[in-house]
């Protein structure tokens, strides 16, 4: 039976190694510690997620900085923060500028009539 126990423990070790190997494949260099014991495998995975988060954080920080600096002076080559085109003020699209002016004038002259004339 002892031999069986040893075999089991060998299997668990082997599985632990396999998990560790998977963890190594997933997490990269730091996951190598997971190969020592099977049960300790999740902890390095957490570490690796933390590492991922840490890897993501510096990537976000420059973007925030660039947006904070923001405005029209964003670097052109970056592509992360392009200056947005100015939103056109006034009524939406008129193909004829005379009609657009007429609409503006009508709204200016008869604002209450426009509000009260409901269908």
Partner 1 sequence: MQDIVELHRAVSAEFGGTQAHPGVVDSQFGLVNAVQRPQVTTLGREAYPSFPEKVAAFLFALLTYSPFRGGNRRVALAALFAFCELNNRTIDSRVLDEKSAETLFRRAAAHREMGIPPENVFREIREMLSRAIVALPS
Q: Which residues bind partner 1 (CB under 8 A)?
A: 91-96, 98-99, 101-103, 105-107, 109-110, 112-117, 119
Our CB check for partner 1 shows the closer of 26 and 114 to be 114
Longest dimension (CA), the chain: 100
Q: How far is the CB of 55 from partner 1 (least distance, A)?
A: 46
Q: How far is the CB of 95 from partner 1 (least distance, A)?
A: 6
Structure-token pair, residue 98: 């005379």
Our CB check for partner 1 shows the closer of 58 and 93 to be 93
- Measured CA to CA, the distance from residue 28 to residue 38 in angstroms comes to 17
In terms of DSSP H, where are the helices of the chain?
2-27, 42-69, 97-109, 111-116
Our CB check for partner 1 shows the closer of 80 and 103 to be 103
Q: How far is the CB of 89 from partner 1 (least distance, A)?
A: 12
- Measured CA to CA, the distance from residue 29 to residue 15 in angstroms comes to 19
Between the alpha carbon of residue 116 and those of residues 104, 108, 111, the distances in Å are: 17, 15, 9
Our CB check for partner 1 shows the closer of 72 and 92 to be 92
Q: How far is the CB of 87 from partner 1 (least distance, A)?
A: 14
């Amino acid at each position: 039976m002892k031999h069986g126990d040893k075999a089991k423990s060998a299997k668990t070790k082997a599985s632990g190694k396999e998990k560790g190997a998977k963890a190594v494949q997933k997490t990269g260099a730091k996951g190598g510690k997971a190969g020592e014991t099977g049960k300790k495998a999740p902890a390095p995975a957490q570490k690796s997620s933390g590492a991922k988060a840490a890897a993501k954080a510096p990537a976000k920080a420059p973007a925030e900085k660039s947006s904070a600096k923001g405005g029209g002076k964003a670097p052109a080559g970056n592509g992360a923060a392009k200056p947005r085109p100015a939103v056109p003020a006034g009524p939406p699209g008129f193909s004829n500028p005379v009609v657009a002016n007429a609409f503006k004038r009508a709204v200016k002259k008869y604002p209450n009539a426009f509000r009260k004339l409901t269908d």
